[in-house]
């Protein structure tokens, strides 16, 4: 066995031992029916301890529609869990158990990941006894969208480390045992294609769920489109050099900032935007209440304006007829 292979053989168990105490199995009890008879079957999943005060993070789709959640810890104890907050838009949920001095996972830096880097997926695959389960792979790609997803997060980590049912909510860790992602999905019609949410984004969303119970998203008040080659050619600009403003909501932040239909937004703060997902990701870096500089092109002239982000106010429900 070569020195590199021998080193890898040692580092993988070390990484698993480092993160293992912070990985819990989740049983989500849902009501259903089989042959017309009511039944309850727990769905298996995974959660990661965020801090010592009983907070864990998992996927929204794990807790959605669950009438009871139970968390099984590596020390053999099982605790009921409640949902602190859950966000279907990013598939992140925060759970609380009535325990203290839990071993919190060490978080890595997902923005420093490199394609080809070894990673380990840890979880409760298939809900079989003897978890956690472990699979080894590499970072296959970064900043990926998820085909057919019900949530809007697109800056995903793609890995060929096997992610199976039951792995949802579990950690993707580097060889130092630091959590760099949260396993969230696999593609059933492909081989070796799984996805994880970057841990920096998960931590930010979890913090907002902990503080507010929900995620507050900034409202701009625009309907935009990617500047596809046909749209770009008609305007004499390179394809995907910005995003096209199609419609502006009256009295919205975008309207008050002076943006108008047919403007091409090229920059949000210091971030260049060439596609809608880049526009949304750049905006998500700023809290509601921020003034963000928007660079845009209008009839060939480059301009800029300050856009005040605010939260969308839900419409009042209509009275029944």
Domain boundaries, the chain: 1-28+44-215, 218-311
CB environment 93-129: b (16+ within 10 A), e (fewer): bbbbbeeeebebbebbebeebeeeebbbbbbbbebee
Distance CA 210, CA 204 (A): 10
Give the pLDDT confidence score for residue 12 in this predicted structure.
93
Contact 47/71 with Cβ under 8 angstroms?
yes
pLDDT, one tens digit for every residue, the chain (321 residues): 555 566 888 999 999 999 999 999 999 987 664 445 555 667 899 999 999 999 999 999 999 989 899 999 999 999 999 999 999 888 999 999 999 999 999 999 998 999 999 999 999 988 877 768 999 999 999 888 665 444 455 578 999 999 988 999 999 999 999 999 999 987 776 678 899 999 998 998 999 899 888 887 788 888 888 898 999 999 999 999 999 999 999 989 999 999 999 999 999 999 999 988 788 878 878 888 899 999 999 999 999 999 999 886 544 333 332
Contact 96, 84 (CB under 8 A): yes
Catalytic residue among 22, 60, 61, 110: 61
Clarify whether 168 is annotated catalytic: yes
H-only helix segments in 114-237: 199-212, 229-235
8, 10, 15: which is closest to 172 by C-alpha? 15
Question: One of 79, 87, 91, 160 is an active-site residue; which one?
Answer: 91
Query: What is the pLDDT at residue 38?
Result: 54
Distance CA 164, CA 90 (A): 20
Determine the Cα–Cα distance for residues 292 and 296; give it in Å rounded to an integer: 13
Q: How far is CA 183 from the centre of its chain?
A: 9
Residue 19 · residue 11 · CB < 8 Å: no
Residue 284 annotated among the catalytic residues of the structure: no
| CATH 3.10.150.10, applies to 1-28+44-215 | no
The predicted structure's pLDDT at residue 314 = 47
Scan for tokens 């727990």, then name that residue: 42
* The pairing of beta strand 218-219 with beta strand 92-97: unpaired
Q: To which residue do tokens 């907070």 refer?
A: 55
Neighbours of 288 (CB within 10 A): 13
Same CATH topology for 1-28+44-215 and 218-311: the answer is no
* Sign of the four-CA dihedral 158, 22, 178, 200: positive
Strand partners, 31: 40
Query: What is the pLDDT at residue 32?
Result: 61
For the entire predicted model, the pTM comes to 0.74
Top-level class of domain 218-311: mainly beta
In the chain, the largest separation of any two C-alpha atoms, in whole Å, equals: 77
CB 245 within 8 A of CB 263: yes
Catalytic residue among 168, 174, 263, 284: 168
The H or E element that residue 18 is part of is helix 3-19
Q: Which run of H or E residues covers position 262? A: none
The rounded distance, in Å, linking the Cα atoms of 263 and 145 is: 26
pLDDT recorded at residue 189: 67
Q: How far is Cα of residue 23 from the mean position of the Cα atoms in its chain?
A: 18
* Residue 53 annotated to the active site: no
Across 99-155, the runs of DSSP E, i.e. the strands, are: 118-123, 133-144
253-279 burial, b for 16+ CB within 10 Å, e for fewer?
Answer: bbebbbbeeebbbbbbeeeebbebbbb
- Please give the Cα distance from 195 to 148 (Å, whole number): 13
């Amino acid at each position: 066995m070569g020195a590199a292979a021998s080193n890898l053989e040692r580092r993988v168990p070390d990484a698993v031992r480092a993160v293992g105490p912070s990985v819990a199995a989740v049983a989500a009890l849902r009501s259903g029916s089989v042959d017309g008879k009511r039944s309850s079957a727990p769905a298996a999943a995974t959660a990661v301890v965020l801090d010592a005060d009983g907070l864990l993070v998992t996927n929204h789709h794990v807790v959605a529609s669950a009438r009871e959640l139970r968390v099984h810890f590596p020390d053999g104890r099982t605790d009921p869990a409640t949902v602190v907050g859950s966000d279907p838009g990013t598939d992140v949920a925060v759970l609380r158990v009535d325990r203290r001095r839990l071993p919190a996972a060490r978080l890595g830096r997902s923005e420093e990941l490199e394609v080809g880097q070894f990673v380990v997926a840890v979880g409760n695959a298939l809900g079989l006894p003897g978890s956690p389960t472990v699979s080894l792979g590499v970072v296959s790609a970064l900043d990926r969208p998820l085909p057919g997803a019900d949530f809007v997060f697109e800056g995903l980590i793609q890995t060929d480390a096997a992610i199976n049912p039951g792995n949802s909510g579990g950690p993707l860790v580097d060889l130092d045992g630091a959590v760099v992602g949260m396993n969230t999905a696999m593609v059933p019609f492909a081989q070796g294609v799984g996805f994880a949410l970057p841990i920096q984004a998960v931590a930010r969303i979890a913090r907002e769920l902990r503080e507010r119970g929900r995620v507050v998203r900034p409202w701009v008040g625009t309907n935009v489109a990617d500047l596809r080659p046909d749209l770009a050619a008609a305007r004499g600009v390179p394809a995907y050099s910005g995003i096209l403003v199609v419609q502006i909501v009256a009295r919205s932040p975008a309207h008050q900032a002076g943006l108008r239909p047919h403007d091409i937004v090229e920059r949000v703060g210091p971030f260049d935007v060439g596609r809608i997902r880049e526009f949304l990701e750049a905006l998500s870096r700023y809290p509601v209440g921020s003034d963000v500089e928007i660079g845009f092109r209008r009839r060939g002239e480059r301009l800029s304006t300050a856009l005040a982000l605010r939260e969308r106010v839900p419409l009042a429900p209509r009275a029944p007829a």
